[in-house]
Amino acid sequence: MTEKQILKKIDAWDENDNIQAIIDFIENLPVEERSTAVLSELGRAYNNFYWLDQSAENEKYLQKAIDVFKYLEEELGETASWNYRIGYSYFYLNNSELAKKHFLREQELQGSGNDVDTYLACIEYAQEKGVSPVEVYNGGREGVQYPLERFLHFLEKKAPNLRTLIASGASDAELESFENQIGAKLPEAYKELYRTFNGQKQIVPFFATGNQHFVSLSEVTEIQERWLSFVKQHYGENWKNVRLSEEIFFDEEDVQNTLFNEKWIPILAGEQFFICMDLDPKQEEFYGQIICVMLNEDINNFEVGYLYNDIKDWLGYIIRNLQSEQLVYNAENNWLEFAEDGNYQEAAYYTEEERTALESYIETTFGKFDEVLHELVSPDIHCDIYLIKPTPERNYYTLVTGGMGAFQMYTPEDYHASPFAELVINLPPTWNIQSEEEKDYWPIRWLKNLARLPIQHQTYLGYGHTIPTNDALEGTNFDCLMLIGAVAQSEDGEQSQWAVAELPSGKEVGFFYVVPLYPEETQFKLDQSADDLLDKFEAADIPYPPVVDINRVNVCEDYEAMETPNLLDNIAWAFNDRFYGSLMHFWDAIRDYNADIENDLEDFTPFATIFSSSKVMMMYEAYIKSEKDILENERLLNPETFDNPDEDGMYYARILAELESEDRNYYGALNLLRHIHNTLSNKDLGDHIFFEGFDLESYQEDGTPVIYLNLGS
């Protein structure tokens, strides 16, 4: 094997925390294949083996790591990664002096080692307190004692005025009374938080994000009543029957899909944005997890989501951001806020000058707008919709978004168009624009949904992209939306170039038409290309600019998807525990992985049809802890699964999974692999984490393919 292939194999095992496999693999490599880089990974694996089980017995692995790194010192001693890794070994052996020396050298070399600031802060704080740095790093009492002390210490040094807002701690009697009030037992870490401080003396923003403040025990009921009142006002007395759609709710396995739950206890609260401790999770082991809730009168913008496993992880997040100065004190407003270059996604709005220029371009390119449908709640972008009424020259309504382009989309490196975009849809002159019935309102709804899609899924929208609507759009047979370039027209009506607004800031904002498609047209586009589909539109005399016609001809009415079961044969991939909600994120990961091992994907068509069925039955083998690891779409093939656990308490299982595509009549190749990956993401595959294709076993009577997944080590 080449060094690159060896390192990629190690990386895949590392993602699954299969450290023993890495150690065994490297220790058994021929001497000539144990390069400097490979041996460095062996030292790292020794460190990680200790990290997974921090017992006194396993401290010998830290010493093994040090021995390896000292052997490599002549070659790597002046690299940041070497200093980080040996510093890590010394830290967990409580050798503060040598750990500090190497961590400081790592910083001098401008390394990016995980938690270096935290390790150094723990060493400094441990010396002040007279305890070990590992004890400080692990948190002390309930895992939160030292993070809380360090948080208050930061406020005293850097934000004394903000520190005065912190209230004194709650008594054990108050905590017991609160438990009786809510009818639930509080996690010990939560109690430790409230023994340290019980909310704020004044209800003013402590964090700029959502104008949130720390909630006292006595406030919880009032905040929950206000929250419930909002839900009832906007979703009626039957609000309990309202659910967030799968398009915006990604934590179905962990968090209850509801708009309000009295067992969601607010820790931070703003007017419509809450950070809560969840005492009613979907699974018992997640009791006390931290979730966020953002209220919105539009169900498509109402957010509920998982944040952290527990209070300890949440406090760790705050401390890390304070240390890295991503979370900074704003003395003028007397609050903590995320720095502009931090990892917090600030709301993106046009400046007044930019919006004026954008509106001028819209009027020049698409026509004078008669009305602006203003957005009332704008948590991330302010997305108005400009309404241009029919004229003799342009006998159709034009709706143009204004606000999506303030946000820079997450475009890949090889994307050559602008990362800023707005959307346009044309509707016939008979369309009831003012109606709120879904058959009339869906164009507006989907413009708003698409405008936020790049933010919510950390992706981008561009030419030829298709976005399934899952169900057919109300009153139509369309179930997908495609984006094509909007072309600017000169005053004499001649088409010129792609419509791009150049704003005073230098930002270039491109415009895309939104075109609804029939299912067969979507299949054709995925199998062929957007250009091929547009050629069919032109041949059928479908006009450009496109105007929505719910009765237009289906240009691919008789098209049958080209089933190609071998599409994934040459794809390399290592399964891991990450869940991919976004197909584009998964595609980025697949491309990066194959590029790293120099596996050419030039001939791979990721969105082509692999099966002419929206359902696939998949058989595979894995290790599971209990029946809880079996998903709703799975069943065990061996009834005796739980008779014989292995030495780690795991059970070997043969599993049959029913995979279902979001598309009604077909399965795309990349989407199938994503669903396979997500199905396996909560399973233990041992050393066999590498995708080696599948065997097509048979077809069921209804045409559903049955496959057997091949996994390699």
Among the ranges given (372-386, 412-426, 615-629, 680-694), the one the predictor scored with the smallest mean pLDDT: 372-386
Structural domain contains residue 124: yes
Give per-residue pLDDT as tens, 29-79: 999 999 999 999 999 999 999 988 889 999 999 999 999 999 999 999 999
Max Cα–Cα distance, the chain, nearest Å: 84
Q: Give me the pLDDT at residue 341, please.
A: 36
Strand 609-611 to 615-624 pairing: unpaired
CA gap 676, 286 in Å, rounded? 25
Q: Give me the pLDDT at residue 493, please.
A: 54
Do 12 and 147 fall into the same domain?
yes
Average pLDDT of span 353-381: 87
Q: How confident is the model at residue 240 (pLDDT cuts 50, 70, 90)?
A: very high
CA gap 525, 690 in Å, rounded? 31
Structural domain contains residue 567: no
CA gap 463, 486 in Å, rounded? 10
Give per-residue pLDDT as tens, 8-23: 889 888 877 789 999 9
Do 632 and 685 fall into the same domain?
yes
Which of 117, 152, 187 is where one domain is finished? 152
Do 45 and 96 fall into the same domain?
yes
Average pLDDT of span 512-538: 92
Q: Give me the pLDDT at residue 378, please.
A: 57
Q: Is the pLDDT of residue 138 over 90?
A: no
Q: How many CB atoms lie within 10 A of CB 659?
A: 23
Do 357 and 321 fall into the same domain?
no
Which of 506, 539, 572 is where one domain is finished? 539
Give per-residue pLDDT as tens, 177-205: 999 999 999 999 999 999 999 999 999 99
Do 623 and 703 fall into the same domain?
yes
Structural domain contains residue 551: no
Give per-residue pLDDT as tens, 144-177: 898 899 899 889 988 999 999 999 999 999 999 9
Q: Give me the pLDDT at residue 334, please.
A: 93
Do 218 and 334 fall into the same domain?
yes
- What percent of the chain has pLDDT above 70? 96
Q: Is the pLDDT of residue 323 over 70?
A: yes
Backbone phi, then psi, for 176, in 5-degree steps?
Answer: -65, -40
Do 377 and 489 fall into the same domain?
yes
Structural domain contains residue 505: yes
Do 591 and 695 fall into the same domain?
yes
Residues 6+ apart with CB under 8 A from 321: 327, 338, 342, 343
The total number of structural domains that make up the chain: 4
Do 381 and 314 fall into the same domain?
no
Is-contact 702 611, C-beta < 8 A?
no
Q: How confident is the model at residue 252 (pLDDT cuts 50, 70, 90)?
A: confident
Q: Give me the pLDDT at residue 346, please.
A: 55
Do 198 and 334 fall into the same domain?
yes
Can you tell me whether residue 682 is helix, strand or coil? coil
Q: Is the pLDDT of residue 291 over 60?
A: yes
Structural domain contains residue 256: yes
Question: Residue 707 burial (CB < 10 Å; 0-12/13-18/19+)?
Answer: buried
CATH code: domain of residue 265: 3.40.1580.10
Give per-residue pLDDT as tens, 607-639: 888 998 889 999 999 999 888 889 999 999 988
264 forms bridges with which residues in the sheet?
278
Do 394 and 331 fall into the same domain?
no
Q: Is the pLDDT of residue 584 over 80?
A: no
CA neighbor of 425 nearest in space, from 304, 550, 334:
550
Which of 311, 338, 365 is where one domain is finished? 338
Higher pLDDT, 342 or 374: 374
Q: Is the pLDDT of residue 649 over 90?
A: no
CATH code: domain of residue 29: 1.25.40.10
Structural domain contains residue 165: no
Q: Which two tokens stand for residue 544?
A: 């450009």
Structural domain contains residue 27: yes
Q: Which two tokens stand for residue 255?
A: 């968090």
Give per-residue pLDDT as tens, 488-520: 865 555 556 789 999 999 999 999 999 999 989
Residues 6+ apart with CB under 8 A from 660: 614, 615, 633, 675
Q: How confident is the model at residue 344 (pLDDT cuts 50, 70, 90)?
A: very low
Among the ranges given (395-409, 612-626, 657-671), the one the predictor scored with the smallest mean pLDDT: 657-671
Give the domain extent around 90: 3-152
Average pLDDT of span 350-360: 94
CA gap 525, 468 in Å, rounded? 13
Task: Tell me what the pLDDT averaged over the chain comes to.
Answer: 90
Is-contact 127 96, C-beta < 8 A?
yes
Structural domain contains residue 157: no
**CA count, 13 A, side-chain hemisphere, 285:** 4
Among the ranges given (365-379, 485-499, 659-673), the one the predictor scored with the smallest mean pLDDT: 485-499
The residue assigned the tokens 């005053």 is: 491
CA gap 445, 438 in Å, rounded? 9
Q: Is the dihedral of CA 344, 349, 351, 354 positive or negative?
A: positive
CA gap 656, 622 in Å, rounded? 11
CA angle 48, 52, 54 (to 5 degrees): 100
Q: How many residues does the chain have?
A: 713
Do 18 and 94 fall into the same domain?
yes
Q: Is the pLDDT of residue 558 over 90?
A: no
Is-contact 674 691, C-beta < 8 A?
no
CA neighbor of 575 nearest in space, from 708, 651, 679, 459:
679
Q: Give me the pLDDT at residue 27, please.
A: 93
Question: Residue 434 burial (CB < 10 Å; 0-12/13-18/19+)?
Answer: exposed
CA gap 620, 712 in Å, rounded? 12
Higher pLDDT, 303 or 320: 303
Q: Is the pLDDT of residue 441 over 90?
A: yes
Q: How confident is the model at residue 343 (pLDDT cuts 50, 70, 90)?
A: very low
